[in-house]
Amino acid sequence: MSKNVKVKRGLKLSFKGEAEKILEKTPLSKTYAIKPPNFHSIVPKTTVKEGEKVLAGDELFYSKYSEHTRFVSPVSGIVKEIVRGAKRKILEIRIEADKEISYKDFGSLDPLKASAEEVKSKVFSSGLGVFIKQRPYDILANAEDTPKSIYISAFNTAPIVGDLEFILKDKQAHFQTGINVLTKLTEGQVYLGVEANSNSYLKKLDHAELINVSGPHPAGNVGTLIHETEPINQGERVWTVGAEDVAIIGELFSTGKYNAERTVAVTGESAKNRKYYKTLIGAEIQSFVGEVEANSRFISGDVLTGEKVDANNYINFYDNELSVIPEGDNYRMFGWLPFKDNHVHSMSKTSLSWLFPNKKYSVNTNLNGEERALVVTGEMEEVMPLDIYPMELLKACMVGDIEKMENLGIYEVIPEDFALVDYINTSKIEAQEIIRNGLDLMITEVG
């Protein structure tokens, strides 16, 4: 049984710099880092000290407000440094890796034969719980909750991102086991979003209800899938899991090992070796990025929702992409004139690029303007497939009007659903940041 979701509103963005479908295994990087700021609203309590020896799967820290939420080491080695910022906030826990990884043995378990309580206990006690996020609010799942359904998207429609079907092609068995695990965590359905027009092996998996997705970005977003199948109402909980993370969950149940393998697609025009690299969660960026052009920006994640990182830093916990694009510190002479730069992508048809919908365009970090008054243009509604009023919701978040935020659908959205609004809006407001602040206010005031 499957459902079809056809999205009409949105925007197809074709940028230069896609990764070739070549998978390369990288050598172990010297150090790895788990960064608590990657996990929103978490206050970490460390369980290790600098100089302490750990195995892959050993606990590094847990959440102060939920002892069931545990964060474990991706590699074996020595805890080299606990990096702290202002007010002694923990920014990174760095582990110097052994030359050969040793794993903590969690023991195997067949999820289809085990009880729901056994499966949930194993997921959260082994550190796999951090791969599961909760909607509303886009925070880590609470082990004490039972979601009404669980969603996985294996179809990423954002520009120049990794192909999840390619990333999972060698992990089909573990991915299936991961789905079997997730079926024990909910009394509802486990939904899997796939590309409608493909003949993917993902359509032959068991115990997941398929959602055949078609349309422009953000058709592949989990938020779009939820909205089109089982919209979230006040008081309800839905869980979401990244596609490759489902395979990590399945592998631990099959082998007893916490194998934090991560396939990272290096994309963007400034990267010269644009491929897929098999590495581990928290690896050094320099260990796999290869040669890049000068004056480039490194983004952990995709170009619409990713986070700017330093070239000497580490890949973020959940990311399957490293985007490397030119810094936009150049200025277009008379760039405000319509039809002057016809090589620039424009949704509002101020360049002739709209005549060539399949052409690929260069992208850099230029904003092409500065923040200005928020005016009614109707452009936000054109790229928002969810049945909400995006501008009104942003205004409600900006003034902190909780009643209006609830009425306008704050429970259904997270920042990534407003990534295209960030891209196209002429007001140059930070829509994703505004939504994140609105969600944080809801956590504080409503819970």
| Strand positions, DSSP E, 196-337 | 209-214, 238-242, 261-267, 276-280, 296-300, 307-309, 321-326
How far is it, in rounded angstroms, from Cα 248 to Cα 171? 9
Write the single-letter amino acid at 114. A
pLDDT of residue 344: 83
Strand partners, 361: 15
Output the CA torsion sign for 40, 45, 47, 50. positive
How far is it, in rounded angstroms, from Cα 64 to Cα 404? 32
Q: Provide the pairing of β-strand 44-46 with 31-34.
A: unpaired
How far is it, in rounded angstroms, from Cα 166 to Cα 56? 26
pLDDT of residue 340: 83
Dihedral (Cα; 139, 45, 178, 31), 10-degree rounding: 110
pLDDT of residue 247: 98
How far is it, in rounded angstroms, from Cα 410 to Cα 435? 8
Place of tokens 């994140």: 436
Can you give the pLDDT of all 447 residues of the chain as single tens digits?
A: 689 999 999 999 999 999 999 999 998 999 999 999 999 989 999 999 999 999 999 999 999 988 889 999 999 999 999 999 999 999 999 999 999 999 999 999 999 999 999 999 999 999 999 999 999 999 999 999 999 999 999 999 999 999 999 999 999 999 999 999 999 999 999 999 999 998 999 999 999 999 999 999 999 999 999 999 999 988 899 999 999 999 999 999 999 999 999 999 999 999 999 999 999 999 999 999 999 999 999 999 999 999 999 999 999 999 999 999 999 888 888 888 888 888 888 888 888 887 888 889 999 998 888 888 888 889 999 999 999 999 999 999 999 999 999 999 999 999 999 999 999 998 999 999 999 999 999 999 987
| Reported pTM | 0.95
Place of tokens 């994309």: 267
Mention every residue, 6+ apart, whose C-beta is less than 8 A from residue 10: 157, 215, 216, 217, 218, 219, 383, 385, 420
How far is it, in rounded angstroms, from Cα 25 to Cα 276? 9
Question: What DSSP line would sit under 264-298, residue for residue?
Answer: EEEESTTBSS--EEEEETTBBGGGT---B-SSEEE
How far is it, in rounded angstroms, from Cα 283 to Cα 269? 22
How far is it, in rounded angstroms, from Cα 247 to Cα 270? 31
Task: Answer yes or no: are the C-beta atoms of 246 and 158 closer than 8 Å.
Answer: no
How far is it, in rounded angstroms, from Cα 37 to Cα 32? 15
Place of tokens 């903590």: 104
pLDDT of residue 278: 96
